[in-house]
Structure 1
Amino acid sequence: MITQRDALTSWSKRANGIILVVAIAILAQFLGGLFPLIGGILFAIIIGIVLKNTVGIKPAFDSGLSFVIKDLLKLAVIFLGASLNLTTIIKVGQQSILVVFISVILGIGLTFWFGKLLKLNRKLTLMIGVGTSICGATAISCVKGVLEAKDDETAYAISTIVFFNLIAFFIYPVVGHLFQLDDLSFGIWTGTAVHDTSSAVAVGLAYSNEAGEIATTVKLARTLFLLPVIIILPFLMNNRKKGSIQQSLKEAFPWFIVWFLVMSILNSIGLIPVSVQEFSNDIAKFFIIMVMAAVGMQVNLKGFAKIGIKPFLTGLFASITVSLISLFIIYLIN
């Protein structure tokens, strides 16, 4: 049982990291207002990366940064639900489900094939494939148990995902404007192809508010694909330990999606005033800026050199494959 004293101790450990992230987010939002073409989210990432790779981030900040990335992100998604209509969510879901399904299946399958071609460790290949195709570091952490992957394999997979998430933030909006994608197409593409939920939402919002809302909806639907993958993987790997599957499913179930839907239902039946919707949207966007600042502070540029060429090439192949497949299907549907 967690006592009040334990809770206070936990929050005191998080305080340093949270305060640092808030300060960076305020600065990033201010700079984003001065330079709207760059935007607050991108400024937050850049400031975070610069801090991490120059002065460094002390371990005392780790607990707070982890809280922001894992928990505050979920709260941001829930707040975004307050400005969405359930009808819109269902409509976007219907338009994107085929894109998501094909991208997930082909993404994991082709990545596994490519890793086998390079003679890369099967577990590492699958973690990169699942992470790229479904929901980034979260997916990798959840399948680690059923794959019985080693800590170094998990670290390599997550590092690869983080790197290509970072690249996506710079490339996707440029490609979107180059091909003149509308908000719906860009939102579906981002929600389908960008790895982590935080990055998918951030990239969508960097394009437009509507694209950000669509990307959030699609990304949450895509996250649910992690559940059947966790059930299927042990059979493919001949590892059918009931306990590991149950634990991974427990960790993987995204309860915050339920609250996201609850908020959208409340909004759909008119229980959330327009002023509250706008306030909720503003809070969600600021939380996303905080999340991306924390993500930037986890990017160790020197550490990427230790990944090795095979995991890097596999991650590159997976990222390009999922991106092109989803974009091609969106083009065919439209």
Structure 2
Amino acid sequence: MTESSARPHPAARRLLPACAAAALLVPQVSSGAALLGGAALALTLGNPWPASTRRAVKRLLPLAVVGLGGGMDLRAVLATGARGFGYTLVSIAACLAVGRLLARALRVENNTGLLITVGTAICGGSAIAAAAPVVRAEEHETSVALATVFVLNGLALLIFPAIGHRAGLEQGQFGVWAALAIHDTSSVVGASLQYGQRALQVATSIKLARALWIVPVTLALGVAVGRRRQDGAAAAPGARPWFILGFVVLAALVTFAPALRPAGHLASEAAKRVMVLVLFLIGAGLSRDALRALGLRPVAHGVLLWVAVGVASLGAIQAGLLSP
């Protein structure tokens, strides 16, 4: 049964908007609960509007990230991003190298392995979407890479805060770890939001700075594979991270115009609730077809690379090599 032919239970048409409203309006609904609730609804009763939820995620996620800038001090954001430049560069290069070796060892399809590696190294689905046209990936290759990263994102959102507390990480340390080891911006924000405001600030700063690496990495891929198209591959990456500029602009306004700070605080709190809604919709976008499409080798590649990045970065933080 394909996703297009599957018929959601009629109750899903009533439950989906009600649960979405709860995720948005009820403060007691956490980011982890929202993600699990969306996934449970999609996998049991079905999502009656999969295309609509995908469009909503694409539109709401950047807006939520911009809104979070209202609760940030730009001076602290820039300082954190600057301090993180060196280990961001090293971690991206190391992840790309290890990912390629793992893909070859596991005999994962070339483009699928490359997309999973790029998504793990930079920022998950956004990096995969930017790199796919450059390497001329087939639709099934892109779908498998996105599905692998999606499942790991959900796991990270649920287990990273628990591991962080177990390891005794301070909020700043957890923010660094989340930014380096969790794929998508949404899950980085969701996990750090559970850990505390300082963790959220550090994680968001580093992750948004990391997202800028979509541009040089994607262009380098185009040169390496010899397939870059003048009218497509070079333009796509540059158009995606516009929300980074919006985040910085809003943070600058509330930092240097004190009169705007109350409004910035309201925008930040609203953005946090929108992010919880986004995570619910991401969960609701999961389908049985997507899970069936994964296959063992891409999943093994994605999991091993993710674990390697997570363990290495956590060890470096605990050894004092990485700090916020």
On whether the aligned pair clears a TM of 0.5, the verdict is: yes
**Correspondence for 1:259:** 246
> Which of 223, 236, 240 pairs up with 1:248?
236
Cα distance in 1 for residues equivalent to 2:203 and 2:218: 24
Of 206-215 and 192-201, deviating more is 206-215
Does 2:50 correspond to 1:62? Answer: yes
**TM-score when normalising by structure 1:** 0.86
Match of 2:19 in 1: 24
Alignment of 1:63-142 (within 5 A): 63-142=51-130
How does 1:305-320 map onto structure 2 within 5 Å? 305-320=292-307
1:99 CA drift (Å): 2.5
- Residue 42 of structure 1 corresponds to 32
| 1:304 aligns to 2:299 (yes or no) | no
Relative to structure 1, is the Cα distance of residues 214 and 125 closer, same or farther in structure 2, using a 3 angstrom cutoff? Answer: same
- How much does 1:78 deviate? 1.1
Q: Distance in 1 between matches of 2:23 and 2:176?
A: 27
TM-score, scaled to structure 2: 0.89
**What is the distance in 2 between the residues matched to 1:323 and 1:275?**
37
Cα deviation for residue 303 of structure 1 reads 3.3
Report deviation, 1:72.
1.0
Matched residue, 2:166: 178
Gaps of 5+ in 1: 1-16, 34-38
Contact 1:266–1:272 at 8 Å: present in 2 too?
Answer: no
Instruction: Determine which of 259, 263, 274 is the counterpart of 1:287.
Output: 274
Cα pair 2:24 2:274 within 8 Å, conserved? no
Q: Which of 322, 326, 334 lines up with 2:309 in the alignment? A: 322
Post-superposition offset of 1:91 = 1.6
Report the 3-state secondary structure (helix = DSSP H, G, I; strand = E; otherwise coil) of the residue aligned with 1:242. coil
Q: Deviations over 1:13-66 (max 9, x none)?
A: xxxx9x976632443477763xxxxx52122112101110111012xx234312
Residue 135 of structure 1: SS of its match in structure 2? coil
**Percent of aligned pairs with the same amino acid:** 28
Identify the match of residue 41 of structure 2 among 28, 38, 51.
Answer: 51
Task: Supply the distance in 1 between the matched residues of 2:222 and 2:76 (Cα, whole angstroms).
Answer: 36
CA offsets 1:265-300 (integer angstroms, 9 cap, x no match):
111112444432331121011101110000111122
Single out whichever of 209-218 and 173-182 deviates more from structure 2. 209-218
What amino acid is aligned across from residue 33 of structure 2 in structure 1? F
User: Equivalents in 1 of 2:26, 2:248: separation in Å?
Assistant: 33
* Counterpart-to-counterpart distance in 1, 2:259 and 2:149: 37
Counting matched residue pairs gives 310
- 8 Å contact kept, 2:111–2:135: yes
- Tell me what 1:9 maps to: none
Task: State whether residues 99 and 326 of structure 1, in contact with CA within 8 Å, keep that contact through their aligned partners in structure 2.
Answer: no
Alignment CA distance shift 1:98-1:224 (3 Å): same
What's the C-alpha RMSD, in Å, of the aligned pairs?
A: 2.2
